[in-house]
Amino acid sequence: MVAGVVPVITWEELIGIRTQCFRMKTGIPGILQRSPEIQLRYIAYKASFDAQKFAEGLFANSSNKLRLNDFPYNLEPGIEHWVLWVKDPRQWQVELTPGLVEFLDQHFGVDQEWIGLVNNPENRTVTSIPHYHIFVRTTNMVQT
């Protein structure tokens, strides 16, 4: 979708999507969308995307790579959209493995909560590299 109004996804909706995915043992249904501006950038990027080159650079110094999503879904303010790229396919499944949960808990710490989801195969841009969409929000806001 490029034109029109794209709904903003709230934290509560992400929790509902996660619950549905775990119950059904499936990935993210195709309801998450990008803003029209981000979607246009995403389409242009996909036109020249090379998965092999991407993977070589991605895993140059690590087995798993966590990075902010360059083309985030349209989320309410205060939610960040990250991608956790997994080098070893044995670590990848619909639900995050205990080792990946520990990795994310250590990275984000106690002041942030996160939700990890995976896209259904038909919604994946990068099919050759296992990855999760990680949505993060700060839980302990300092009031001034």
- Give per-residue pLDDT as tens, 13-58: 999 888 777 666 666 666 788 999 999 999 999 889 888 888 888 8
Question: Can you tell me the distance from the alpha carbon of 90 to that of 105, in angstroms, rounded to the nearest whole number?
Answer: 20
- Domain count for the chain, please give it: 1
Count of helices and strands (H, E) across the chain: 4, 4
Length of the chain: 144
Residues above pLDDT 70, as percent of the chain: 82
Question: Can you tell me the distance from the alpha carbon of 97 to that of 63, in angstroms, rounded to the nearest whole number?
Answer: 15
Domain contains 1: no
Q: How confident is the model at residue 104 (pLDDT cuts 50, 70, 90)?
A: very high
Report pLDDT for 2. Answer: 47
Average pLDDT over all residues of the chain = 82
Q: How confident is the model at residue 76 (pLDDT cuts 50, 70, 90)?
A: very high
Bigger pLDDT: 1 or 27? 27
Domain contains 6: no
| Burial classification of residue 36, based on how many CB atoms lie within 10 Å of its CB (0-12 exposed, 13-18 middle, 19 or more buried) | middle
Q: For residue 89, what are the domain limits?
A: 11-138
Domain contains 2: no
Asked if pLDDT for residue 113 goes beyond 50, the answer is yes
Nearest CA-CA partner of 69 in 2, 110, 17, 125 = 125
Domain contains 54: yes
